């Protein structure tokens, strides 16, 4: 009888250990899955946004004279206007993905901080005019939100360029 009780206790201990091991293994697998998901998000961001059209849009915006309103926007070529709207749509999408935690803001910061911040700085007067024209304060709201998040992030911890921050790192 004592042997049966001993074996039952031993089985209960092993069962408890198996549950603990299972929970630990599940947690480790979840962390591994999230790491893979982050890497895939980075690769997807790089692939989907590294297009000649986006590069052209970023160039147009960065080469604009500082802030432009509707009147100055109206003087731009149709091609430049289309590229600016392409950029708006791209950054609006990125803003939504960051807000929903589908895309880490740190990744967006590394890929696009300058075009997002400079683009909004230069184009915000035009956006405000547009919002008034369409009676819609939500026009490009996620782009503005993303700009504000990056600005706050840089004020809290100024971004150090990669060539300086990672100078000693070897691939």
- Residue written as tokens 């782009």? 143
- Torsion of the alpha carbons at 120, 122, 123 and 129, rounded to the nearest 10: 120
Express each pLDDT in 42-83 by its tens digit: 777 777 778 899 999 999 999 998 899 999 999 999 999 999
Q: Which residue has the higher pLDDT, 22 or 116?
A: 116
Q: How far is CA 164 from the centre of its chain?
A: 22
SS (H, E, C) 14-44: HHHHHHHHHHHHHHHHHHHHHHHHHHHHHHH
Q: Find, among 114, 125, 71, 66, the residue nearest to 91 by Cα.
A: 114
**Does 26 have pLDDT greater than 80?**
yes
Express each pLDDT in 118-143 by its tens digit: 999 999 999 999 999 999 999 999 99
The pTM (predicted TM-score) of the whole model is 0.76
* 3-class secondary-structure state, position 68: coil
């Amino acid at each position: 009888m004592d042997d049966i009780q001993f074996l039952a206790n031993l089985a209960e201990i092993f069962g408890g250990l198996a549950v603990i091991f299972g929970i630990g293994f599940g947690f480790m697998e979840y962390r591994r899955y999230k790491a893979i998901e982050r890497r895939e998000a980075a690769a997807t961001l790089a692939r989907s946004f590294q297009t000649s059209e986006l590069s052209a849009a970023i160039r147009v915006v960065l080469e604009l004279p500082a802030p432009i309103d509707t009147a100055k926007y109206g003087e731009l070529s149709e091609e430049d206007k289309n590229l600016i709207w392409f950029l708006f749509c791209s950054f609006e999408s990125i803003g939504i993905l960051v807000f929903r935690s589908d895309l880490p803001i740190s990744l967006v910061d590394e890929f696009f901080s300058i075009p997002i911040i400079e683009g909004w700085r230069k184009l915000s007067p035009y956006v405000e005019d547009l919002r008034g024209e369409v009676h819609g304060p939500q026009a490009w709201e996620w782009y503005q939100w993303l700009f504000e998040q990056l600005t706050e992030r840089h004020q809290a911890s100024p971004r150090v360029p990669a060539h300086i921050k990672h100078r000693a790192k070897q691939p």
